[in-house]
Amino acid sequence: MKIGIIPTVTEKNKSIYYSIDKSLLTFLNNLFIKPKIKVLNDFNVELYDLIVSSGGNDLLKFSKQKKDKERVKIENYYLNLAIKKNIKFLAICYGAQFLAFKFGGKLTFDQNHVAKNHFIFSKNENKFLVNSFHNYKIIKISKKFNILFKSEDGSIEAFRHKEKGILGIMWHPERYKKIKKFDVKFIKKYL
């Protein structure tokens, strides 16, 4: 499997840096058999089996920093490539917020989701405990997506495009000491 990861973009001394959390690499290496992984920061047209939008950064709605502008350029390019070429797209935390906003959803500031664990609920499945590391929660999503899970406060925690292989999740499956069976089963089921 060939996987491209959209990196977190940081800025230091007016220079832009791209980074991938090592735990995300470990998670993907455990989720798939011997994946070939590449950091996507060069706007190439190479085809992938999966593009992963990692956590980090802020949406331009909330920040006008150079690093966030760069992240949005990369995010837009690879999301459009995924849609055009029918490439599966997994959006984690920031990536899910980006998807929601890009398709006309609404987000709101909420510090109750920062560095905490909470339950998510589905109409068809039991509740699950997930981590949370975001300042903004999704409160409305485009009708192009099915909502899969919500949190106790009603915010949208997981959603999937009705026609494309695009999955957004607000928690970080890669940030657990041990990979959770729920995350593996869930991601494989909905991608």
Residue 113's pLDDT band, with cuts at 50, 70 and 90, is low
Catalytic member of 75, 93, 113, 118? 93
Reply yes or no on whether 172 is catalytic.
Answer: yes
Name the token pair of 106.
């609404």
Residues 7 and 39: beta-carbon distance below 8 Å:
yes
What amino acid occupies position 68? D
Residues 37 and 56: beta-carbon distance below 8 Å:
no
In whole angstroms, give the CA distance from residue 95 to residue 53. 5
Residue in 146, 156, 152 with CA at minimum distance from that of residue 127: 152
Q: Which of helix, strand or coil describes residue 45?
A: coil
Lowest mean pLDDT among 35-39, 62-66, 131-135, 180-184: 131-135
Lowest mean pLDDT among 11-15, 108-112, 174-178: 108-112
Q: What is the pLDDT averaged over residues 10-29?
A: 94
Residue 117's pLDDT band, with cuts at 50, 70 and 90, is confident
Q: Is 90 exceeded by the pLDDT of residue 5? A: yes
Percent of the chain with pLDDT over 90: 71
Q: Is 70 exceeded by the pLDDT of residue 187? A: yes
Catalytic member of 113, 134, 161, 174? 174
Reply yes or no on whether 174 is catalytic.
Answer: yes
Reply yes or no on whether 118 is catalytic.
Answer: no
